[in-house]
A = this chain, B = another copy of it.
């Protein structure tokens, strides 16, 4: 969900640039993991911000995500699995966000989890190498600032590329 369906990192970048005392540039923030750029105290602050009620409510949907997932749902059984168990205050926000933007995905196919080793599916499109490593099916890495250097997994940079990979050419 985060940084695959939702522009979570972009929201965090705006918070860092506008609310933190920092010399980091937009370019640096767009090409590195926050955990490699911020001080421990700033990371604790980010953790609190993510877990605050309503943090998730206004996050923007990634370009072409809705249209592509909708098309995919005609050919595949689609589940949305988000590793949000670390942030209990995000549960309701995340559920409502999916209902708002991806209303065609039924509640039966939504998963809130921690370790993604528990997910049973053929493919997993994810932005975290650790999630794809834990996953038993075929992992596809969705490009994000925190995974630019990885060469282990097949990579997609946006939803147009997901579409090209999984949808029949009409």
**Chain A residues at the B interface, C-beta cutoff of 8 Å:** 79, 81, 85-86, 88-89, 91-92, 95-96, 106-115, 117-121, 136
Contacts and interface: CB of A to CB of B under 8 A. Distances in A.
B118 A114 contact: no
Contacts of A89: 92
Contacts of A108: 85, 114-115
A155 B10 CA distance: 50
A135 to B, nearest CB: 9
A75 to B, nearest CB: 17
8 contacts: A79-B118, A85-B107, A88-B91, A108-B115, A111-B118, A112-B112, A118-B121, A119-B120
Interface centre among A96, A109, A111, A121, by most B CB within 10 Å? A111
Given A85-B110, A91-B95, A111-B111, 4 more contacts: A79-B118, A85-B95, A91-B112, A109-B118
Interface of A is mostly: mixed
A134 to B, nearest CB: 10
A118 B107 CA distance: 13
Nearest to A115: B108
A94 B111 CA distance: 15
A38 to B, nearest CB: 22
Given A88-B92, A92-B91, A114 B106 contact: yes
